[in-house]
Amino acid sequence: MNVDLLVSFYVVSLLAALSAVVVYSELRRKRFEPTPSEDHIFRCQECAFVYTDDADVDRSRCPHCGKTNEMVNF
């Protein structure tokens, strides 16, 4: 067997193994990562409390002081 062929086979097999590990870890990360929430984020202008509410509301009442607030846009 030629030395160049042996070294090439060794390098290609290591790159293939490394690629397989990267793909496997990426699939595992996506499987266990939390899904993004559809809730809106609100910040009370009265007491500065930050809270979330359902995606179908544009204004929400603060659970601490009761003031109605607009949603926060980032």
Residue 27 sits in the same domain as residue 49: no
Place of tokens 């193994």: 17
Q: How many CB atoms lie within 10 A of CB 50?
A: 10
Place of tokens 């595992």: 28
Residue 27 sits in the same domain as residue 8: yes
* Among the listed residues 41, 38, 39, 59, the one whose alpha carbon sits nearest the alpha carbon of residue 49: 41
Residue 20 sits in the same domain as residue 46: no
Residue 2 sits in the same domain as residue 29: yes
Residue 21 sits in the same domain as residue 6: yes
In this structure, what token pair is assigned to residue 24?
């496997």
**Full domain range(s) for residue 53:** 40-70
> What's the pLDDT score for residue 38?
86
Residue 25 sits in the same domain as residue 49: no
Residue 8 sits in the same domain as residue 27: yes
The whole-model pTM stands at 0.53
pLDDT, tens only, 26-59: 999 888 888 888 889 999 999 999 999 988 888 9
One-letter amino acid of 70: E
Structural domains counted in the chain = 2
